[in-house]
Amino acid sequence: PPDVAALGRSSWTLLHSIAATFPEAPSRAQQGDLVSFVQLFSRLYPCWVCADDFQGYIAREPPRAASRDDFGRWLCGAHNDVNRKLGKPVFDCDKWQERWVTGPKD
Ligand code: FAD
């Protein structure tokens, strides 16, 4: 079985990196591709309890992909939902770009 923590870290890196490189002004097709990707990802994620809860989150909070920041904040909320469940600190979503796009100011 997969190492759930290692799988999680690398998956969040992939997902936040996709957010970081998503266009600031995506086309309709790009928005649709990203939402489809997230939905398929949630069905194929190889940790079944994780996948179930992630699908639940998607049902409560439909993925948003109107812009890079829109998706980055949606994803930050999804990650915080897991952080809460695991008792990890909640991340300040105003800082998602600093963590994943621009890097720390200093
Ligand atoms: P991670 O949570 O992997 O975070 C990596 C880095 O991302 C952090 O160091 C921080 O710099 C940054 N970060 C943290 N929060 C945010 C945020 N909100 N927005 C942006 N950046 C942030 N594990 C389980 O045990 N049970 C589950 O049900 C479960 N469900 C998961 C569902 C999904 C979709 C994914 C991708 C992972 C899931 N995991 C689950 C794994 C879990 O979220 C962690 O990846 C794992 O516990 C390792 O945690 P970590 O402390 O190394 O940091």
State the pLDDT at residue 2.
79
Average pLDDT over residues 1-24: 95
Q: Which CATH architecture has domain 4-101?
A: Up-down Bundle (1.20)
Name the residue with the closest Cα to ligand 1, atom 11: 99
Largest CA distance in the chain: 40
83 CB under 6 A from ligand 1? yes
pLDDT digits (tens, 9 = 90+) for 26-58: 999 999 999 999 999 999 999 999 999 999 999
pTM of the model: 0.97
Atom 6 (ligand 1): residue with closest C-alpha? 9
DSSP alpha helix (H) spans, the chain: 4-21, 28-44, 48-60, 68-86, 96-97
What letter would DSSP give residue 61? Answer: S
Q: CB of 4 closer than 6 A to ligand 1?
A: yes
